[in-house]
Every structure is written in C-alpha cells, then in structure tokens.
Structure 1
C-alpha cells in the first residue's frame, strides 16, 4: 500500500439525539446510508432501515435526498470518493501499467476485508441482484464499473505502446481480467477472507501479468526447450 492511498475508516451512524432535536447533518446521514447499502445492497435496504439509521422520518428523508434511488446514487459517489480503490491516483502516479495493477490489487486486499467498514466493494456487490423495476440503479453501478475498466484499459494500451507488455496482449481482455479478480476479492471479503488471504490472491494475479519478455501463453508453449 503506498503512502497517500485511502485507508479504511469507520462509517459511524449519527448518534440518536435525546431531548431537544439537533440540526440535521446531511453528510453524516449520507455516510450512514452508505453503510446500510454497503451491508445490505440496494434492494436489501428498506426505507425503514434508512429512516431508522438516519434518525429521521420518511418525509424528511425524501425532502433531503429525493428518493431511495437518488440517495443510493449519492452514497455511491461518496464511496468512490472516500472509500474506493485509488484508480485515478494510480494512473497518474505510477510509472508502468504493472505498477498501476499492483497498486489496485494490493489496495483491494487492504480495503475489502470487513472490520472498520462492512467489507467488500459497493461497486461490485451493491446491485448484484436487482428486480426489473430497479434496473436503472443497476445500470448506474454497471456504468461506474465500466468507466473504471475503460480507464484501466486505456492505461494498458498506453503501456503496450511503450513496450511494457507483449505486442499480442489485448488491453480490453487484461482490463477485464483485473476487474474480474477485484470483483472476486470483494466476494471473498464478504465471505470472511482477511487481508492476508486477499493479498495472496493479489500476488497470484500479479504473477500472471504478462511481462515484456513473456509473450502469450501460446507462444511460450511453442518455444523449444534449450538443449543441455
């Protein structure tokens, strides 16, 4: 984990007020709503769950956030900004595409285990199963995943042009591969995998990353062994 990357911090629900009501803290309420969506997913979180956690009634919730869907969208933005993987920073700060991938995988291993946060990744698991009525919510999350994958693909393509990976490597496939590994790490974290277990997965994925000299698996298989 590199200095400056995001670290896990607790998402605390706002304390219930007693006696005289205090002013509504919208940012704290959004943080608490994120925790509910993170734990239960969009469909698993009811309006009653949200109003109970936020300490407000339904009319106040709708007045503050518009709807459950709009609240989820804001919570998703908060997650990407404060708790998600450091993709944009990695793209700017790392010198090679392998270093970008290494930073993302190791950050996932550090951030995903449950503890200070509910565990896993909201982008990976927040809308895994959505009814047709909630398709628009799932589409928003899918678009977020797609944007991140596209950003990584472009960096991989740039690395390929510089000779960082073999000429026959396909940037879109490699970006999808890393996204798939990260999604799997999220599921493993939700099932209880700790940081050490996820870090081991990250290292295996890094070991499979194509180097400049490695070529494709098919080419490696065709190479003749050296005579001794």
Structure 2
C-alpha cells in the first residue's frame, strides 16, 4: 500500500496509470482487481494510509499538551521539515492532490476537499482550547485564524512541490507566526 500511496502522492490520481500501479506494487492485473476492485478504491486506501503514516504528525502536534502558540509554531516548522524530506515526495498529498481534475473525478476532489476541511476544523478546535486556556484574546476569530494557518500550510506544500528549500519554508513559517493575535 505504501508504494501505491507514494506513487499517487508523487503523480496524483490522474497522473498515475493502472500499469504504473501494478508495476510498482509488483502484482498482476487480476490480483489488483481482486485486492482493490478499482484504481479509485485503491486511491481511497492510499489517502487513509497517508493520513496515518505520513500525515500523523499533524494531529499529534495539535494534541500535544503545550500552549497554543507553541503548537502552531511547531505545526508550521514541522510542516517545513516534512514537506521537504528527501525520502518521500515533496509537499502534502492532501494539499496538492485533486484541486483540479476532470469532471469524472469530482468524487476524489470532494474527498480531498473534505480532508482539508477536517484539518482546518482540527486547527480551529485546538484554537478554541487555547482560547479557553487564555492563550488567545477572547475576540479572536477562531475560524478565520484556522483558515489562515490552513492556507499557510497548503501554500507551503505547494511551494515545496515547486522546489522551495527547507530553509525557505522555515522562513515562511516564521513570517506566518507573526500573524498570531497578541493577548
């Protein structure tokens, strides 16, 4: 499954052919269909694998017992590190995949949009916890702040995909933290 995940992450759904998948996975066409049913079903499994294997750091940081600004600083700097690792495709599979696809693949676009919305929701929830703890001013627009940091992370993923260096992404993260509301 990890081989298929990496292939989809690197090439996207439409850029990954059936022949690429069976060659990478080292299985026959009949074995593929017996195991997964379809390319789309495998893609769904690849997204789930990505969320647990490569994207697990995201929720781990949000759930750490640290103050909110530290959590978001760690989130943005870890993103810079993860998005530029040498041992995996650059960027974030969820951020860069299926923002545009053929009309026949709207289900996949919607699936990934839903994943991005869930990530933003997790950030908003962490911000609400921080507000309750006094880490943020009471008048903070939590949803807008979560949308800002979600946009920042997705932008960093695209920058990484375009070849931005780790140092460049760390600088973007540092600048992004300047938007943190003062108490």
TM-score range, shorter chain: over 0.9
Determine if the alignment matches structure 1 residue 186 to structure 2 residue 157. yes
Picking from 123, 128, 148, the partner of 1:152 is 123
> What is the alpha-carbon distance in structure 2 between the residues aligned to residue 130 and residue 151 of structure 1?
26
Picking from 137, 142, 164, the partner of 2:113 is 142
In structure 1, the partner of 2:15 is 44
Determine if the alignment matches structure 1 residue 96 to structure 2 residue 67. yes
Gaps of 5+ in 2: none
> What is the alpha-carbon distance in structure 1 between the residues aligned to residue 178 and residue 3 of structure 2?
38
Structure of greater Rg: 1
**Count of residue correspondences:** 183
In structure 2, the partner of 1:110 is 81
RMSD: 1.4
Greater fraction of residues in helix: 2
1:95 deviation in Å? 2.1
In structure 2, the partner of 1:84 is 55
Gaps of 5+ in 1: 1-29, 213-228
Which deviates the most, 67-76 or 91-100?
91-100
1:78 deviation in Å? 1.1
1:98 deviation in Å? 1.1
1:114 deviation in Å? 5.1
1:83 deviation in Å? 0.8
> What is the TM-score with the length of structure 2 in the denominator?
0.94
Determine if the alignment matches structure 1 residue 209 to structure 2 residue 172. no
1:96 deviation in Å? 1.6
Determine if the alignment matches structure 1 residue 68 to structure 2 residue 39. yes
> What is the alpha-carbon distance in structure 2 between the residues aligned to residue 85 and residue 208 of structure 1?
25
Matches within 5 A, 1:1-20: none
Aligned partners of 1:114 and 1:192 also within 8 Å: no
> What is the alpha-carbon distance in structure 1 between the residues aligned to residue 178 and residue 133 of structure 2?
20
Picking from 144, 154, 160, the partner of 1:173 is 144
**Which stretches of structure 1, 4 residues or longer, exceed 4 Å deviation after superposition?**
none
> What is the alpha-carbon distance in structure 1 between the residues aligned to residue 127 and residue 152 of structure 2?
16
1:85 deviation in Å? 5.2
Aligned partners of 1:164 and 1:211 also within 8 Å: no
1:130 deviation in Å? 1.4
